[in-house]
């Protein structure tokens, strides 16, 4: 059996009667960027929300099948979903810094929730996380300012720093650049490339050029089904499925 960091096996997901994901089986490797592409409403966001048990937070949502993290099913009885979400962090489409908190407290929030109180430990973690998110040099003198005072691109990197502060093993990103300008987008793409040295990264994107630039592996979803999954270069240049080719060439989507 291949050594995957995260693996889904016959994963299904529903919102009420809407069957959003249908028998998704795929493996996500450590230290790679996996992109999930497909037209709107095909199940991309639902898939990554199942990877850290955020899907179940939606009223009426449920799932079946398994998601293995280091070989253990995160949906097994007795597994604490909060622990899963600490190990598999999430960055959302719209930057969501806590508006009443300072830049510093935004980054430290998860650590404080986990009981970290030592000021030196917090200082070290905040600096490390902001450096990893390419933000330290821009905010080092403004750590007491509101997180909401930053630009859109900076806010998104602040949210990435917040996710990194609790030292997860994997980072899920749901269209992290969709609301950003090209310069801010380029910074986040560079950041994603750097993050894979230490983390497993999964990114949902509607931007196929972005998927081609940042990912090692790409999954193409359509109507809740996994149509094709493989190395990004080969999937983009030589897709095996006609549906994939039609999507990539703009015939639909």
Tell me the per-residue pLDDT of 57-102, one tens digit each, with 9 for 90 and over. Answer: 999 999 999 999 999 999 999 999 999 999 999 999 999 999 999 9
Tally Cβ neighbours within 10 Å of residue 18.
Answer: 12
* pLDDT at residue 13 is higher than 80: yes
Average pLDDT score over the chain: 96
Measured from the Cβ of residue 230, the count of other Cβ atoms closer than 10 Å reads 16
Residue 107 corresponds to which tokens in the numbers above? 């980054």
Q: Output the pLDDT for position 249.
A: 93
Residue 3 — very low, low, confident or very high, per pLDDT cuts 50/70/90? Answer: confident
3 state SS of 47: helix
CB 5 within 8 A of CB 196: no
Q: Among 149, 213, 222, which Cα is nearest to 187's?
A: 213
Query: Span 6-100+172-248: which CATH code?
Result: 3.40.50.300
Q: What is the pLDDT of residues 151-191, one digit of tens each?
A: 999 999 999 999 999 999 999 999 999 989 999 999 999 99
pLDDT score of 62: 96
Dist CA 226 CA 63 (whole Å): 16
pLDDT at residue 1 is higher than 70: no
Q: Looking at residues 28-46, what average pLDDT do you find? A: 97
Predicted confidence (pLDDT) at residue 114 exceeds the cutoff of 60: yes
Binned at pLDDT 50, 70 and 90, residue 2 comes out as low
Per-domain residue ranges for the chain?
A: 6-100+172-248
Is 0.85 topped by the overall pTM? Answer: yes
Q: How far apart are CA 71 and CA 184, in angstroms?
A: 36
């Amino acid at each position: 059996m291949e050594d995957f960091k995260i693996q889904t096996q016959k994963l299904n997901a529903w919102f009420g009667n809407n069957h959003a994901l249908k028998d998704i089986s795929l493996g996500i490797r450590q230290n790679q960027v996996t992109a999930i592409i497909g037209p709107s409403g095909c199940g991309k966001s639902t898939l990554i929300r199942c990877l850290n048990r955020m899907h179940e937070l939606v009223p009426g949502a449920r799932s079946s099948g398994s998601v293995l993290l280091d070989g253990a099913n995160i949906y097994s009885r007795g597994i604490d979903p909060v622990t899963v979400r600490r190990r598999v962090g999430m960055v959302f489409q719209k930057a969501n810094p806590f508006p009443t908190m300072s830049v510093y407290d935004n980054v430290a929030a998860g650590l404080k929730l986990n009981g970290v109180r030592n000021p030196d430990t917090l200082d070290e973690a905040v600096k490390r996380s902001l450096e990893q998110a390419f933000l330290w040099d821009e905010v080092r003198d403004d750590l007491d300012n509101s997180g909401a005072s930053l630009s859109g691109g900076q806010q998104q990197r602040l949210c990435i720093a917040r996710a990194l502060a609790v030292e997860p093993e994997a980072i899920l990103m749901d269209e992290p650049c969709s609301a950003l300008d090209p310069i801010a987008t380029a910074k986040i793409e560079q950041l994603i490339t750097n993050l894979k040295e230490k983390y497993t990264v999964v990114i949902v994107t509607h931007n196929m050029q972005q998927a081609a630039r940042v990912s090692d592996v790409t999954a193409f979803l359509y109507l809740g089904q996994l149509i094709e999954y493989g190395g990004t270069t080969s999937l983009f240049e030589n897709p095996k499925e006609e549906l994939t080719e039609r999507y990539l060439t703009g015939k639909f989507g």
